[in-house]
Amino acid sequence: MEFVKMHGLGNDFIIVETDSWKDADQLQPHAQYLCDRHTGIGADGLVAVGHDEKMDIFMRIFNSDGSEPEMCGNGIRCVARYAYEKGWIEGENISVRTLAGARYPQVELIDGRVASVCVDMGQPVLERQLIPMQGEGSIVKVPLTTSQGEFEITAVSMGNPHCITFVNDINSVPIAAWGSEIENHAMFPAKTNVEFVQVLSRNELIMRVWERGAGITLACGTGACATLVAAVLNDLSDHKAIVHLLGGDLLIEWNEEDNRVYMTGPAQYVFSGTIDLD
Is position 227 an interface residue for ligand ZDP (rule: CB under 6 A)? no
* Cβ atoms < 10 Å from Cβ of 123: 16
Q: Closest separation between CB of residue 265 and ligand ZDP, Å?
A: 10
> Over 219-242, what HEC string results?
CCHHHHHHHHHHHHHCCCCCCEEE
Which of residues 45 and 124 has its CB atom nearest to ligand ZDP in the complex?
Answer: 45
CA–centroid distance for 205 within its chain? 17
- Among the listed ranges 17-25, 73-81, 97-105, 144-152, the one in contact with ligand ZDP (CB under 6 A) is 73-81
Active-site option among 35, 72, 118, 225: 72
* Binding residue for ligand ZDP, selected from 98, 154, 160, 227, defined by CB under 6 A: 160
| Interface with ligand ZDP (CB under 6 A), residue from 63, 154, 157, 237 | 63
Size of interface with ligand ZDP, in residues (CB under 6 A) = 18
Q: Which stretch binds ligand ZDP (CB under 6 A): 80-88, 166-174, 175-183, 206-214?
A: 206-214
Stretch that binds ligand ZDP, among 52-60, 67-75, 91-99, 169-177 (CB under 6 A): 67-75
Instruction: Give 168 or 195: the residue with its C-beta nearer to ligand ZDP.
Output: 195
237 CB-contact burial (10 Å; exposed 0-12 / middle 13-18 / buried 19+): buried
Residue 163 is among the residues annotated as catalytic for this protein: no
Cα–Cα distance measured from residue 56 to residue 105, given in angstroms and rounded to the nearest whole number? 11
Q: What residues pair up with 193 in beta bridges, in sequence order?
A: 162
Dihedral angle at the C-alpha atoms of 192, 117, 100, 41, nearest 10 degrees? Answer: -60
First to last CA, the chain: 10
What H or E segment, with its residue span, contains residue 86? none
Counting contacts by CB under 6 A, is residue 212 touching ligand ZDP? yes
Q: Least CB distance from residue 168 to ligand ZDP, whole Å?
A: 25
Q: With binding defined as CB under 6 A, does residue 157 bind ligand ZDP?
A: no
Name the helix (H) or strand (E) containing 176. Answer: helix 175-183
Footprint (CB under 6 A) of ligand ZDP, residues 85-144: none
**Catalytic choice (78, 118, 163, 220):** 220
Q: 45-51 and 11-17 as β-strands: parallel, antiparallel, unpaired?
A: parallel
For residue 193, state whether it binds ligand ZDP (rule: CB under 6 A).
Answer: yes
Least CB distance to ligand ZDP at residue 140 (A): 21
Report the residue number, 111 or 211, with the smaller CB distance to ligand ZDP: 211
Under 8 Å between Cβ of 257 and 250: no
Binding of ligand ZDP by 46 (CB under 6 A):
no
**For this structure, is 72 an active site residue?**
yes
What phi and psi, each to the nearest 5 degrees, are found at residue 96?
-125, 125
Cα-based torsion angle of the residue sequence 143, 161, 214, 51 in order, rounded to the nearest 10 degrees: -170
**Residue ranges that bind ligand ZDP, judged by CB under 6 A:** 11, 45, 63, 69, 72-75, 160, 193, 211-214, 217, 220-222
- Residues with a known catalytic role: 72, 220
